[in-house]
A and B are shown apart, each in its own frame.
Chain A
Amino acid sequence: MPLSARADVALGAKKVSVPGLTMQAVQSQIGEDGQGGLKLSLRAAKADVPAMGWKRVGVDLQGVLQRDTHMRWLFDGTAQLAGAPGGALGNAKVSMVIDEAANTLEINLIQGAIQASTALPLDQPTHAQISLKGVPLAWLQGLLSTVWSGRATGGKLDADMALDLQDKGLQASGQFALNGGGFDTPGGALAGQAVNGNGRLNIDTTTGPSRIDLDASVRGGELLLGPIFARLPDHPVQLSLSAASRNGAVEFNRLRVADADALQLEGVMSFNAKGDLQQLKLDRLQTRFPAAYQRYGQAWLATLGLRDMRIDGQLSGNLDLGTDGLRSFAFDTDGLDATDAEGRLAVKGLRGGLDWNASSDRPATTLGWQALQVYRMPNGAAQMRWQSRGGALSLQRAVDVPLLNGRVHVGELEWRPAASKGRRLETSLAFAGIDMTAFSRTMGWPEFPGTLGGAIPALRWVDDRFELEGGLSVNVFDGFVDITQLSLQGPFGPSPVLTGDVQLRQLDLAAMTSVFDFGSITGRMDGSVDDLRLVNWNPVAFKASLLAGSGGRISQRAVNNLTTVGGGGMAAGLQGAVLKLFKTFGYKRIGLNCTLQASVCHMGGLDNDADGYTIVEGSGLPRLQVIGHQTQVDWPTVVRRLKAAIEGNGPDVR
């Protein structure tokens, strides 16, 4: 072998630029391999391919270039890239075919089970046909980063794509199949995991906002879209979307989802760069429960405080939600049952729908239910006519809803769904003949007979508070309990606040004490509980003053109980022994005041002096006088004593 036949040519360049590719610190060497081929070696310290999102990638290409009988150039060798996104082509086999006659360049890359091949015309090297098999999505991270701010977290891709690289970006379109795909975004509001799918994809990053069109069927895995977390079923879900992305913000200007047995929707959706939902417009929404709840609705309803719901039935509708709030919604169902886990709200046999628009009038709709349960109160069947006019949804005619053997009459009702603050709802209510026996049973109280009635000429929903004008009157124990100045804040939250003033008029103490098993007192009682404030249905503040001023008799047990509630003990010694001889005592007046503030009850009675306050003022013989000395009693203690006094049968308002 002649020695002179081996002459290597070494070339070095600081920078080499061709369209779509810049290389720095390039060293190449060409020599003969001694078998009629050329040994090629190309090293570049830094190579940038903007269209692929590759920056400062180290390139090391080694191989042998030969010419075959068809006068094609064949290259076989290895490619090692350092620092490419996802560790792409860390150590790959490369084979290339350059066919000048056919004007084509074919490149095949193989690394383990991963295959990528591309074919491109020699005179237009920016236009390529690419075929991928089992390529990790992470390898395409660079490419993806040119389109959006997210990143691929896993999955393998098969694809046949046509790619057109341009200065400003790239255009690609073709078929793909994704296996176990995952992605994430900064902030983590949009993400996916273990998603399988196949379909058709078009990407165009050459225009202002990058555009993506996707028609795919996806199977399995999980998707997070802002507040919505979807657990995709094992059967294919059709997903068709067209998205535009600019500076991290994503706008789905066409979105179609079809999950045959759970959810079908068409609409528009957009997120800002932080991943906050900016717009949601669902034109055709069809849901089937419980599948739709389990797959798509669970997480979103949990953020609203509704957990572990049981929903059955179907619902169709539409929705338009913008940054300025709700613009329109409508729904229609031919049968829906829903119950929340805590039993605060349950509806059975919901039928019909609502149709509301913030700016235009809508045709009237009918909405009815077989049963509606709010807290424990079971409401009977009712049907309502609604119409949206001028941004308000109003009841077209008054409705009677059966409640505990009586009825609730809903007069005028106007609901402004768009007002998230301020007055959202106004209505007038009237209650008639509501059975207190059934009511107390429902509340788990000792049963007492009576009826509840009253009128709320105006109920307003202001911010998160319901304000009730007028009042309720309960005809109970042959007297009246009037409740006025009612307001209710956050009724379905964890700490609902109820405030009101209560007036007691001429209650028959005999009837009352028999129900509460307090010992017996006869006579009539008047009183008031002003500024009552219940949080989570437990009293935290009030000014109560109770007075039985018309005389009567009081049993020894009742005296005992009154005394212990007031913080005293039964008189001991001789006095006590004498008292025990009598079953009942006559009294002239009984009075007890309690002002509750910050868990402390400030007690008072008929007349207060330095020594104490009179609770019972006796009459006749033996003359009984009960005097309280403790003016400040811890409220939980009072409650405990009261409970003990009525032997644990007391009202336990929950």
Chain B
Amino acid sequence: MEINKFERYWLIAVGLTLGAFVAATIVAVAVFGIRLPSPVERVDPQRLDQTIFASPGVRKIADNRYEAVIIAKSWAFNAGPEAGSPPVLRFPRGSQVTFYVTSQDVMHGFQIERHTINLELVPGQIARATANFNRPGKYSIICNHYCGAGHQVMYGTIIIE
């Protein structure tokens, strides 16, 4: 089976293109620290009161470092009584926030617009992601996974001051 000269050049160019995509992925992980979600822990969606989700809300754990525990339920995010509904979370500029999110009923999504946080909320699984907020502004938290008739109004807000 012969391979034409130009086709060989083409295949080399394809290999280089794909290599660049793979390299970019590796750089994103190693240099920029953009991590994909990995298993954290399983929870029973009907017994969230026996887990960290018993009291959702924001906790300060160190200077400029926060933990946010959030429950998604049709069709609202619950980030504790202080955050209100739909929740508004406020962090100072330069904060590092680790989100722990789970769903209490069906599939939901958790996306922070203009950011790298984009989680599927699968009932029974804790989704965890850490975000750095360096630019002040208002960012929407959007449920981006279809969850029923009220899907389009399920959201929250993050304000970086």
Say if A and B assemble together. Answer: no
